[in-house]
Structure 1
Amino acid sequence: MLKGINPLLNADVLYALRAMGHGDDLIIADTNFPSDSIARQTRLGRVLRIDNVTAAEAAEAILSLYPLDSFVDDAAGRMEIVGQPNEVPPVQQEVQAVLDRAEGQSRPMIGVERYAFYERAKQAYCVIQTGERRFYGCFAFRKGVVPPEAE
């Protein structure tokens, strides 16, 4: 255990979060997402796991350390519901609330069509599969920067 770091963030996830650079994407995936096959095509090349937690719990742990990119409008994305792209189910509402708290402001997620989401995921740095069993618990977060401390 480490002080100040959410215990859901295991060594593999912490390594990936630290190794990622500005503009790299990470994917938070539900249990139905093809995490293994997609993750093999990412920069990391293997799936990471934060088991037995919801997407919101995983997002809260990740966003406690992970800065979102402030230079782009698509720094946070959610997989759209097939045939209902504007519907935002409870799992996505929960993650949106976590995101807004972490950012200290409203940062609306963009909707990403299912197959476009798969393509974005293949280009990501890593895929983190959660224990989320609700449909459409899949999210993409683009890493931002941590500014230098003021002198």
Structure 2
Amino acid sequence: MGLLKGIDPILTADLLWVLRAMGHGDRLAIVDCNFPAAQVAKSTVTGKDPIILTVPLPQAVSAICELLPLDYFEESSVFYMAPQDGVAMPPEGNAVIDELKSAIATVSSPDVSIAPVERFQFYEEAKKCFAIVQTLERRPYGNAILVKGVIGPDGKDLKPN
């Protein structure tokens, strides 16, 4: 595998193809190692096997968001898996979600809206995604969906006025 200047080496050729092939409004699921990625990936737009990244969720999201514009025209452009009603988020889950939010704020913008999606609904939303990226994240609820936005004429994320 060859490296490219300015592109994080964890971003594989398959993932770069997916990011380039996605259009405005398409969604990308980035999931933990316990997520049923192979099964869910069959229902995605590409229908291909999940792309495997051997890093934790926050590192994967950070590298992906260096290239992928987020959709600032949506109420939320990042979603994370949350427990179903009556189940408390474990401390490790809170930690991974806090790191996800920090990664998004660092590489995108602090005004990106990040919203929870109940666990079983998250599985259904992941099936509608363009593709699945599976990480080596082992903490519970280490799953996110990113909504692709638009790159404006100036080469930056397009935002509403």
Report the Cα offset of residue 116 of structure 1: 0.8
Q: Which runs of 4+ in 1 moved over 2 A?
A: none
| Residue among 103, 117, 122 paired with 2:122 | 117
**Equivalent residue, structure 2, for 1:84:** 88
**Equivalent residue, structure 2, for 1:49:** 52
Report the Cα offset of residue 108 of structure 1: 3.6
Count how many residue pairs are aligned between Structure 1 and Structure 2: 148
**Equivalent residue, structure 2, for 1:31:** 33
The 2-side partners of 1:108 and 1:15 are apart by 26
* Unaligned 5+ runs, structure 1: none
In the TM superposition, what whole-angstrom CA distance separates every residue of 1:10-49 from its partner, at most 9, and x where no partner exists?
A: 0000000000000000000000000000001001112111
Equivalent position SS for 1:65: coil
CA RMSD of aligned residues (A): 1.5
1:1-150 paired onto structure 2 within 5 Å: 1-46=3-48, 47-51=50-54, 53-82=55-84, 83-84=87-88, 89-149=94-154
The 1-side partners of 2:79 and 2:154 are apart by 29
Q: Which moved more, 1:41-50 or 1:98-107?
A: 98-107
- The TM-score, its normalising length taken from structure 1, stands at 0.93
> 1:67/1:60 Cα in 2 relative to 1: closer, same or farther (>3 Å)?
same
Report the Cα offset of residue 84 of structure 1: 3.0
- The answer to whether the 8 Å contact 1:29/1:130 transfers is yes
The amino acid of 1:27's aligned partner reads A
* Unaligned 5+ runs, structure 2: 156-161
The amino acid of 1:50's aligned partner reads L
- The TM-score, its normalising length taken from structure 2, stands at 0.87
Identical-pair percentage: 39
Report the Cα offset of residue 73 of structure 1: 1.3
Report the Cα offset of residue 59 of structure 1: 0.5
